[in-house]
């Protein structure tokens, strides 16, 4: 018997009939994408992403649509139904929750007993908290010291916390081995383009060994974005290319196989900009011959609450390092330190002004701590 033959049209209809589009909603693009990964692993295709107003949640949420096979969808549906039947007894869960609350209260009472050691510790904790260090990090570090000799001396406690900060902070060594591709991401107005120009000049002209540097601009959103980086490239006589979509990016990148360093500028985005985030993910997913390192730029002037939102969005891109911009515009570094203490992403550079290429220095823990201690003394 002859095997059935499928035309291109019938194959397309067959593929549509064997796939199901599923819509997922979450607070942020990362949470929505993680939800899809949790449910379907790598077995889905991103169809669309957008922001919508959700009346129940009273605000803007992120909605993504993914395509999964009908077989996978039905299989998960059956599994979820089985898990529903296996849920523990609600009365038991309430008892466990009450027990946890009682244990937490007992622990709290123990930690807040009136004693000279705890008074000193609370004083030092308040001193660091007022300068922006996250209380949750301070609690974690100070708790083992309760009742110790260190807790009896305020100077020792302060020195201990500064030592813990120094040991926890991570710095990425400036090391250029072989070819390197770096993509820069961050919020709007953080100074990505200027920082990229500083790095380009540093790598091409200011190190012991000069490198061949090329620039690719993916920012087609901001007015004048292409012209600004093109101007820097022209002054430094560096290769400069632009790309408006993933296909162009692959084509332009293929032209740079002989370059030592490729620096990629992206569109600035808010933590809630689903469209730009998904587009950045598509660029990172391009099938290239070289690995792309992702560097996040954060302004040293930003509030800690905003830093948490920024990290929640951009950590989704598997960050390799962080550059602090606008380092010269504030004396208060507690919020930035809290972010670095609670999220193990290494620092690579400080941007300390607007001058290209001079106002860029390799990240240094001692310099950062000296600035913080100055604020602490004040």
Provide the pLDDT for residue 374. 77
Is 147 part of any domain?
yes
- Regarding whether 338 and 213 lie in a shared domain, the answer is yes
- Regarding whether 157 and 217 lie in a shared domain, the answer is no
Domain count, the chain: 3
Q: Distances in Å between the alpha carbon of 275 and those of 26, 281, 311?
A: 15, 10, 17
- Regarding whether 197 and 156 lie in a shared domain, the answer is no
Among residues 369, 338, 358, the alpha carbon closest in space to that of 136 is found at 338
Single pTM value for the model: 0.67
Among residues 216, 225, 148, the alpha carbon closest in space to that of 191 is found at 225
- Angle at which helix 70-85 crosses helix 29-40, to 10 degrees, equals 90
Tens-digit pLDDT profile for the chain (378 aa)?
Answer: 444 443 445 445 444 567 888 888 888 888 888 888 888 887 888 888 887 777 665 677 888 888 888 877 777 766 665 555 555 567 677 777 777 777 777 666 655 544 444 578 888 999 999 989 999 999 999 989 888 888 888 899 999 999 999 999 999 999 888 889 999 999 988 989 999 999 999 999 988 888 999 999 987 665 555 688 889 999 999 999 999 888 899 999 999 999 999 999 988 877 677 677 777 888 887 777 788 899 999 999 999 889 988 888 888 888 999 999 998 888 888 999 999 999 989 999 999 888 888 889 999 988 888 888 876 765
- Regarding whether 274 and 160 lie in a shared domain, the answer is no
Q: Which structural domain, as residue segments, surrounds residue 47?
A: 8-85
Contact 113, 314 (CB under 8 A): no
Q: Distances in Å between the alpha carbon of 3 and those of 13, 69, 160?
A: 18, 24, 76
- Regarding whether 160 and 273 lie in a shared domain, the answer is no
The CATH number covering residue 235 comes to 3.40.50.300
Domain end position, chosen among 85, 102, 127: 85
Contact 298, 350 (CB under 8 A): no
Other beta carbons within 10 Å of 273: 20
Is 173 part of any domain?
no
Is 307 part of any domain?
yes
Is 108 part of any domain?
yes
- Regarding whether 150 and 189 lie in a shared domain, the answer is no
Domain end position, chosen among 168, 198, 218: 168
Q: What is the dihedral of CA 312, 313, 316, 317, to 10 degrees?
A: -130
- Regarding whether 273 and 208 lie in a shared domain, the answer is yes
- Regarding whether 310 and 193 lie in a shared domain, the answer is yes
């Amino acid at each position: 018997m002859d095997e059935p033959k499928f035309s291109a049209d019938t194959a397309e209809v067959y593929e549509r009939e064997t796939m199901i589009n599923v819509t997922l909603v979450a607070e942020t693009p990362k949470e929505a994408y993680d939800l899809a990964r949790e449910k379907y692993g790598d077995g889905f295709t991103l169809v669309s992403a957008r922001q919508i107003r959700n009346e129940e949640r009273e605000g803007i949420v992120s909605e993504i649509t993914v395509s999964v096979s009908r077989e996978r969808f039905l299989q998960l549906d059956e599994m979820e139904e089985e898990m529903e039947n296996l849920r523990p007894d609600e009365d038991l869960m309430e008892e466990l929750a009450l027990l946890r609350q009682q244990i937490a209260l007992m622990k709290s009472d123990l930690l807040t007993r009136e004693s000279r050691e705890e008074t000193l510790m609370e004083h030092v904790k308040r001193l660091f908290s007022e300068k922006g260090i996250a209380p949750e990090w301070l609690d974690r570090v100070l708790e083992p010291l309760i009742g110790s000799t260190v807790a009896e001396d305020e100077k020792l406690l302060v020195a201990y916390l500064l030592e813990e900060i120094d040991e926890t902070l991570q710095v990425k060594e400036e090391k250029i081995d072989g070819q390197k591709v770096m993509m820069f991401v961050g919020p709007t107005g953080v100074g990505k383009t200027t920082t990229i120009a500083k790095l380009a000049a540093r790598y091409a002209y200011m190190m012991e060994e000069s490198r061949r540097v090329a620039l690719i601009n993916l920012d087609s959103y901001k007015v004048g974005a292409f012209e600004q980086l093109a101007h820097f490239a022209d002054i430094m006589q560096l290769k400069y290319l632009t790309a408006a979509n993933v296909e162009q990016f692959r084509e332009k990148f293929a032209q740079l196989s002989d370059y030592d360093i490729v620096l990629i500028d992206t569109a600035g985005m808010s933590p809630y900009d689903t469209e730009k985030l998904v587009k950045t993910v598509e660029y990172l997913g391009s099938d290239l011959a070289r690995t792309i390192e992702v560097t996040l730029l954060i302004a040293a002037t930003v509030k800690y609450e905003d830093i948490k939102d920024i990290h929640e969005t951009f950590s989704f891109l598997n960050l390799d390092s962080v550059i602090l911009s606008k380092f010269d515009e504030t004396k208060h570094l507690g919020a930035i330190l809290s972010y670095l203490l609670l999220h193990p992403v290494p620092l690579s550079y400080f941007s300390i002004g607007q001058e290209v290429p001079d106002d860029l220095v390799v990240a240094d823990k001692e310099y950062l701590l000296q600035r913080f201690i100055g604020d602490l003394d004040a």
